[in-house]
Amino acid sequence: MSAPATRFDALSEWSDRHFKWLLVAPAVLLILALSVYPLLFSVWVLFVNYDFTVPGHGFVGLRNFTRVLADPVARWSLWVTILLSTINVTIEFLLGLALALAMVKSFRGRGLIMSLLIIPLFISPVIVGQAWALLLQRPFGPTNYVLSQILGFEVTIGWLTQAPWNFIALVLADVWQWTPFMFVILLAGLTAIPPNLYEAAELDGVDGWRAFWWITLPQLGPMIMLAITFRILDAVRLFDTIFVMTGGGPGTNTYSSSFYLYTLGFTQFHLSEATAGAWMFLVITAILITFLVRRLLKAEPT
Amino acid sequence: MAHVTIKGLHKHFGAVHVVKGIDLAIADGEFTVLVGPSGCGKSTLLRTVAGLEQASEGTIEIGGKVVNDTRPRDRDVAMVFQDYALYPHMTVAQNIGFGLRARNFPRPEIETRVKRAAKMLNIDQLLDRLPRQLSGGQRQRVAIGRAIVRNPQIFLFDEPLSNLDAQLRDEMRSEIKRLHQELGATMIYVTHDQIEAMTLADRIVLMNAGQIEQSGTPLELYEKPRTRFVAGFLGSPKINFIKARLENAGIVFADGQTLKLPAVDAQRYAAHAGKPVIFGIRPQHIDRAPMTGSPHIKSTVDLVQPTGARTYVTFTIGGEPVMAELDAHDAGKPGDEIAIALDLAHFLLIAPENGNVLGR
Amino acid sequence: MSLITRANIARTLLLGFFLLFTFVPLYWMFITSIKPSDDYLAVPPVWFPAEPTMLHYTAALFAYRGLDGLINSVIISAAATLLSTVLGTLMAYSLARFNTGGQHLSFWVLSQRFLPPIAIVLPIFLIYRAVGLHDTHFGLIIAYTVFTLPVTVWMMFAYFRQMPKSLEEAALVDGCTRWQSLWRVAIPLAMPGIVAAAVFAFIACWTEFFFALILTSQTAFTLPTVFRAFLGFQGAQYGEASALAMVSLVPSIILGILVQRHLVRGLTLGAVRG
Ligand SMILES: Nc1ncnc2c1ncn2[C@@H]1O[C@H](COP(=O)(O)OP(=O)(O)O)[C@@H](O)[C@H]1O
Ligand SMILES: [Mg+2]
């Protein structure tokens, strides 16, 4: 019943033999072209002059690195990144956990509330920043007015222009957008805890807070690790809301690392210095990834 | 239709050695059943014949042609899977005709062939349904229909009946046997169920831990097993194994009772006299004896399990449990003293050190 | 008061507070988008305008080139989604069924997801300028394809892993080539997962800002980058900004809620079934 061998058969046979590699080839080539090749190219940029304000690509040794390292704004922006990521992820975790606990039992309207709570995840961070800017901005936003009414005295906070309020504004926007992320993952984790664990514990006289500490948290452990890891790795990239809300200001007060490198490269056009900074940032992130992902793999979520 | 020859076949999954040197020749039109305990490598062997696994070593020939490097589609085999593997997004007709479409058969020809196959299997009124609208037995028929419609050289079955309930299983078993008689095709059938193996096979290949333990007709394996494993695997209820010694006087059990062997047997096993042996006898070959006369063993009834016509009675010989299949009226009740006659035309003696049946 | 009802009250309060927290910014933005400019600085603030207006919408779409951004966003997000879904599904199939390249290949793809964009966008910017891809649709499309690939690959990897392979094997024995068994059996059966992965890729492209900001300017700019026009002290275009935001967020929210069943898998790259 087999047909006579034709050239098409030979081709079909060849493509079946190399099937698994043919399937991955396009994606791998694209990643090589747009991620690996640029990174390799940037290694060259690290050691030359690549600056729209200074012509030529002469070799400059480690100058690009030393200039970034000497820049106090670079160090400040790293602190801002660490500070904001830590605060953001902590608040998002606690709030997300509380929400997940509140949503784990089924009640009327749960499905609808679920759909409403996850809405922020589908909105561009630029728009989130814009929305919070509108709400907080003087003199347009209603925040100061509402606070004045509640507190009984005139509130005139420059939410986007005055430290530390500008940080609080950034935290608000980030918490608004990403608490649902924690909530969704932790809820999935809570739902997966077998209910008979609680029943057994109840027979042993364990309930309420103690059940939470002794059963819920340990069972949820791997999921918590996963949620926090994923969130941290995104939180350290913080850029969009800063760009929209404070523009890094006042001055360089709310520069995050990404924002600092962006201004260095694209408003001051010191591209090779920005590349050097980006590589240092990449190395810090890589260390963080290795550390976090290794712990994550050890915890091994289901 | 074609014969299959497997030579020196090995299969490794990484560090796991699953198939350990199989040599097997299957004649054209033969119904071969691969049987053995779960995990012994039956499916792996079958899938290697189908081309779904690559042989690590050795060759597979179909119709005299080595097919190691041939794709499944070019081997002209059909396979029925344990979970049926029906395409859930296609109707019964599309499922059955899928192989023909993949081979670019003309539409009218596909239609007539699908109809013919469906009629053969009594599913012609189900052709427009989706698999999820079918019962287990109907799904099984569709899976078989998908195989026969292509008229392949070789049929492969991987435990096709194990997901069916007992009654359907019996029915489908006869159906498969009838199909083999009608088509006369070469069939290789994998199962872990010895009853399926006994009823279906022209030839049984009994596997254990990646190797062939023994192959032959069902009756050969049942009556002349070469190893303790084969004797223990086939037959229901299981054959009894009793530790004993072979002496010149006969078989001596642990409690000192002696079973005198007929002269021919005594002579046959003379070389092993004085050694420990395992005495094997099937429950069907044990009977009540009159308390006097012909050679017998004494014991006390432990357990009585009636099943209707026959009753399973358990007692001990030399401290070891032994089951007999007795006539319901002979069974007695727990605690009864009984005399047992062992049918000495049908016993086995096994060397305990290697499990080989003596005298073969 | 019993423990049960106290817990109930706490839950209601928490959910109520958080829903309020979620909707106040969205509400204020919506109101701003239909509020006449004269009401901007009123004290007390105007919570609902007496005379709603659509003026900001037309201004945002036409005067501020919001419509161009919208069209670009549709083209670029759709094309990148298509590419990413096709390439990602093929790769995921290979990884799931043949363990291609062992763990290294799959983790290498995953690691791409966690590269800081700033590290990668600088050299891409330089290369794009050199080869003329800067500010082109094609340039942003392939950048977005690569940027969404890890998520698509890992989501589909998890999806294929939980599909039985016997159907594809049956197809192979039935006479299909590998490609046919993929195309006629595996892909149709994986369709729900593929659609979900595509929607997540689309939302990711639709809401992306950083790459678009750097790799485009006057031609291939996407919707989120139009907001640059409303920043700083260039006057108070609150209404226009809000109108544009509404135009952008409505489609992605609708899409997101449609695939919410797959959300956990999407957020965790398939690590958690949900
Ligand atoms: N793809 C595989 N990778 C690793 N081990 C496998 C694979 N397939 C089967 N095995 C192992 O090979 C052994 C034999 O499997 P199989 O052929 O399915 O046994 P059987 O069908 O006789 O029950 C089992 O121990 C099984 O775990
Ligand atoms: Mg098997």
Residues 6+ positions from A193 with CB-CB distance below 8 Å? A215, A216, A219, A220
Predicted local confidence at residue B291, as pLDDT: 62
CA B16 – ligand 1 centroid, Å: 9
Q: Which residue of C has its CA nearest to A101?
A: C11
pLDDT at site B187:
95
| CATH 3.30.70.1290 correct for C55-269 | no
Which member of C166, C176, C180 has the closest CB to residue B83?
Answer: C166
Which of C118, C236, C260 is nearest residue A115 as measured by Cβ atoms? C260
**Chains near A (3 or more Cβ pairs under 8 Å):** B, C
Instruction: Tell me if B38 CB under 6 Å of ligand 1.
Output: yes
Superfamily classification of domain A68-298:
MetI-like (1.10.3720.10)
Pairwise CB contact (< 8 Å): B103 & A1:
yes
pLDDT in tens, B97-156: 999 999 899 999 999 999 999 998 999 999 999 999 999 889 999 999 999 999 999 999
Within chain B, where are the H helices? Answer: 42-50, 92-102, 107-120, 136-148, 166-183, 194-200, 218-223, 228-233, 263-268
Interface confidence, given as ipTM, is: 0.91
Using an 8 Å CB-CB cutoff, list chain B residues near C172.
51-52, 71-73
Q: Which of A277, A249, A250, A251 is nearest to A262 (CA)?
A: A277
pLDDT at A6 (0 to 100): 67
Return the pLDDT at C269. Answer: 82
Collect all residues of chain A within an 8 Å Cβ-Cβ radius of residue B76. 1-2
- Subunits next to C (3 or more Cβ pairs <8 Å) are A, B
Which pLDDT does position C203 carry in this prediction? 96
Query: Which member of C24, C45, C143 has the closest CB to residue A34?
Result: C143
Burial per residue of A77-99, b for 16 or more beta-carbon CB atoms within 10 angstroms, e otherwise: bbebbeebbebbbebbbebbbbb
The vertex-B50 CA angle with B46 and B53, nearest 5°, equals 80
Mutation target for A interface from C11, C26, C64, C118: give the one with most A CBs within 10 A: C118
Q: C94 by DSSP, 3-state: which?
A: helix
Contact B325, B310 (CB under 8 A): yes
A130 to C3: CB separation less than 8 angstroms, yes or no: no
Residue B37 Cβ inside 6 Å of ligand 1? The answer reads: no
pLDDT at B149: 93
Measured between beta carbons, the chain C residues lying within 8 angstroms of A244 are: 227, 231
Mutate to test the interface with B, among C99, C163, C173 (most CBs of B within 10 A): C173
Spell out which residues of chain B touch residue C185, defining contact as CB-CB under 8 Å.
87
Single out the residue of B18, B34, B13 nearest to residue B212, CA to CA. Answer: B34
| pLDDT value for A94 | 96
Tell me how far the alpha carbon of residue B45 lies from the centroid of ligand 1, in angstroms: 10
Determine if ligand 1 sits within 6 Å of the CB of residue B40. Answer: yes
- Residue A110's CB is within 10 A of a number of other CB atoms, namely 14
What's residue B295's pLDDT? Answer: 64
| A9-23 tens-digit pLDDT | 788 888 888 999 999
Q: Both tokens of residue A110?
A: 């749960």
Cα separation, C35 vs C48, in Å, equals 8
**Best mutation target, C97, C166, C174, to test chain B (most B CBs within 10 A):** C174
CB atoms near residue B30 (< 10 Å): 17
What is the pLDDT at residue A196? Answer: 84
Question: How does the average pLDDT of chain B come out, rounded?
Answer: 90
Whether C116 sits inside 8 A of A289 (CB atoms) is no
CA gap B27, B2 in Å, rounded: 8
**Does C250 lie at the interface with A, CB-CB under 8 angstroms?**
no
- Burial class (CB within 10 angstroms; exposed 0-12, middle 13-18, buried 19+) of C7: middle
Residue B185 above 80 pLDDT? yes
* Residue A128 CB partners (closer than 8 Å, separation 6+): A120, A173, A176, A177, A240, A241, C25
Least confident of A139-143, B5-9, B282-286: A139-143
> Is residue A102 predicted with pLDDT exceeding 70?
yes
Contact yes or no for C170 and B85 at CB 8 A = yes
Q: Is the CB of B13 under 6 A from ligand 1?
A: yes
- At A299 the pLDDT is 62
Going by pLDDT thresholds of 50, 70 and 90, the confidence category of residue A76 is very high
B151 touches chain A (CB under 8 A): yes
User: How many of the other CB atoms lie within 10 Å of CB of C54?
Assistant: 10
Q: Would the pLDDT of B258 be above 90?
A: no
* Contacting residues of C for B98, CB less than 8 Å apart: 171, 174, 184
pLDDT at A45 over 70: yes
Ligand 1 atom at minimum distance from B46 CA: 17
B44 lines ligand 1 (CB under 6 A): yes
Ligand in nearest proximity to the CA of B83: 2
Report helix, strand or coil for C100.
Answer: coil
Tens-digit pLDDT string for chain C (274 aa): 456 677 788 889 999 999 999 999 999 999 999 999 888 888 788 888 888 899 999 999 998 899 999 999 999 999 999 999 999 999 999 999 999 988 889 888 988 888 889 889 999 999 999 999 999 999 999 999 999 999 999 999 999 999 999 999 999 999 999 999 999 999 999 999 999 999 999 999 999 999 999 999 999 999 999 988 887 655 578 899 999 999 999 999 999 999 988 888 888 888 777 6
In the predicted structure, residue B231 carries a pLDDT above the cut 50: yes
Tokens coding C45: 């603030």
Closest to C116 (Cα-Cα) out of C225, C1, C211, C228: C211
Q: Is the sign of the CA dihedral A199, A200, A204, A209 positive or negative?
A: negative
Which DSSP state fits B246? E
Q: What was the pLDDT predicted at C3?
A: 60
Domain ranges of chain C: 1-53, 55-269
Residue B327 and residue B301: Cα distance in Å, rounded? Answer: 14
Mean pLDDT of A71-94: 96
CA A258 to chain centre: 12
Mean pLDDT of A138-153: 88
What would the mean pLDDT of B221-248 be, rounded to a whole number? 91
CA gap C28, C46 in Å, rounded = 10
Tokens of C189: 């059966």
Dist. CA B18 → ligand 2 center (Å): 12
Question: Which of C170, C175, C189 comes nearest B81 by C-beta?
Answer: C170
Which residue's alpha carbon is nearest to atom 3 within ligand 1?
B13
Does C114 contact A at CB distance below 8 Å?
A: yes
Q: Give the ligand whose atoms come closest to the C-alpha of residue B37.
A: 1
pLDDT of residue A302: 43
B85 in Cβ contact with C174 (< 8 Å): no
List CB contacts (< 8 A) between C97 and chain B: none
Residue-range domain boundaries for chain A: 68-298
Q: Is pLDDT at A2 greater than 60 in this prediction?
A: no
Which has more confidence, B66 or B288?
B66
Residue B353: pLDDT over 80: yes
What tens digit of pLDDT does each residue of A170-225 get?
999 999 999 999 999 999 999 988 888 888 877 777 777 888 888 888 889 889 99
